[in-house]
Amino acid sequence: MLFAAAGLLIGAGLIALLPADTLFATTAKPDDRGAAVAGERWACPMMDFIGNRPGDCPVCGMKMTRVTAGELSREQQRRMQVRLTTVTEGPARALVRGYGAVRYDDRTLQVVIPRLGGRIVKRHEAARHVGNTVKVGDPIVDLYSPEVFEAQGELAAAMKFWDQPTIRALTDRLERWNLGAVARAVIAGGAPTDTVTITSPFAGRVVLALEGEEGAMEARLPQTGQEVMADAPLLRLIDPLAFMLVVHVPEARAHWLKVGQPVRLASDDRGELPDVEASITWVAPELNLEIRAREVHLHLRDPNGRLLPGGLVNARFEAALGQDFAVADGEKPETWGKFVLVPKTAVISTGVRHVAWRVAERQRDGRVRFELAPLALGPRIEDESGNDLYVVRAGLKAGDEVATQGVFLIDSQAQLAGTPSLLFPNGAAAPAAAHQH
């Protein structure tokens, strides 16, 4: 500990005794060791020291090496692993991704309603479990109803006297109760019964209530002994192959969607679902403020029964922009705009200021000189392979070469040399602007 403290004190003393013009300065004066040159700095390969003249490091004595802003030798490019790419021009096509939960298509909901009141004395298979598949005409419950028994007795009496108006009126009443078969049995000579079977006029899958539906917590299947009121819901059926997918698209892609846009689907357990055709049927007119996303509805059919209500599905929307940055028709290339495109890896940003390092000159010995290119950016787009691109509004043109790897090292070199960089638009050594009132 004592040796370390002594070393720190000695080092601090050496630095304090150095001449002021030896250290990094904004204005350099020439001397017998060389003159300061704009865009050049001299760095010690051992110590964290940067000067503005060549010579030996005043701290450790090692020979300092030149740092020239934006200029890299072939060996420097190799060590910094610099990679270049050419700026292109083309359509702004993006893959918009979103996840959504599967739910039944509530447009197919059918409700079985008894037209008369009574008490349930028996439940058939259709009314015993949620998810049961019901066919047209399947029995649901047996209902004890004095009202039906009375109507059958009156019909039997009318048959004895062949009272046609009464027979017709009673038959019509039983038909309105969906008990035409009971009326025909009495007309054929059958004895009246106080218990009738309620059958389903629809086909579908039994559900209690749909997501978000009012009264979902109180919904339940018919129970034996339950009193049933006339025209009260008895059983709810939904098309088992029709679904609605609710997808939330991030705010950054909220304007890339429109009704009728085709969608590709995939699930984690089933993979790609190429046979499930889907398209956007509704787009929310506003953002969800809690999750900063726009809700999109898709209506689809799954003939192979691979989707489960509540399951998570990946939805991918292919979108293209017109020249005015509005959503274009993805199936009509003539409506697509043409833009300058640059890889995202070429862009470095403070969040407000965006720049790229463009190749300004190539030397025969392999040296490359870069120049700073301030950018005005448009939307960020992503393709199927996950490659990110930016639309460039200004700052680059098609055919320019830019660095896509080693960009931060090139920018750091410019900062060390005091020339313009991402953080210092006018150069790190530039004098600050005078304060004005």
Check residue 1 and give its pLDDT. Answer: 46
Burial environment of residue 418 by CB neighbours within 10 A (0 to 12, 13 to 18, 19 or more): buried
The CATH number for 87's domain is 2.40.420.20
Same domain, 208 and 131: yes
Answer yes or no: is 434 within a domain. no
**What's the residue count for the chain?**
437
Angle separating helix axes 164-176 and 146-161, nearest 10 degrees? 150
Give the containing element (helix H, strand E) for 298. Answer: strand 293-301
CB contact at 8 A, 54 and 64: yes
Check residue 219 and give its pLDDT. Answer: 67
The sign of the dihedral angle between the CA atoms of 98, 102, 105, 106 is negative
Check residue 142 and give its pLDDT. Answer: 92
> What's the CA gap between 127 and 61, in Å, rounded?
92
Answer yes or no: is 54 within a domain. yes
Residue 186: DSSP 8-state: H
Same domain, 214 and 135: yes
Residue 100: DSSP 8-state: E
CB contact at 8 A, 302 and 257: no
Same domain, 124 and 232: yes
Answer yes or no: is 57 within a domain. yes
Check residue 52 and give its pLDDT. Answer: 74
Q: Identify the CA nearest to 57 among candidates 41, 79, 39, 80.
A: 41
Check residue 418 and give its pLDDT. Answer: 79
Same domain, 351 and 375: yes
Answer yes or no: is 204 within a domain. yes
Given 312, 333, 354, the domain boundary residue is 333
Residue 50 neighbours by CB under 8 Å, 6+ apart = 24, 41, 42, 43, 44, 67, 416
Same domain, 294 and 307: yes
Given 333, 366, 401, the domain boundary residue is 333
Same domain, 165 and 138: yes
Answer yes or no: is 33 within a domain. yes
Same domain, 58 and 176: no
Answer yes or no: is 429 within a domain. no
CB contact at 8 A, 294 and 248: yes
Determine the structural domain holding residue 154 and report its residue range.
109-238
Check residue 256 and give its pLDDT. Answer: 85
> What's the CA gap between 339 and 44, in Å, rounded?
45
Same domain, 351 and 403: yes
Segments of the chain with pLDDT less than 50: 1-6, 8-10, 12-18, 20-35, 215-217, 430-437
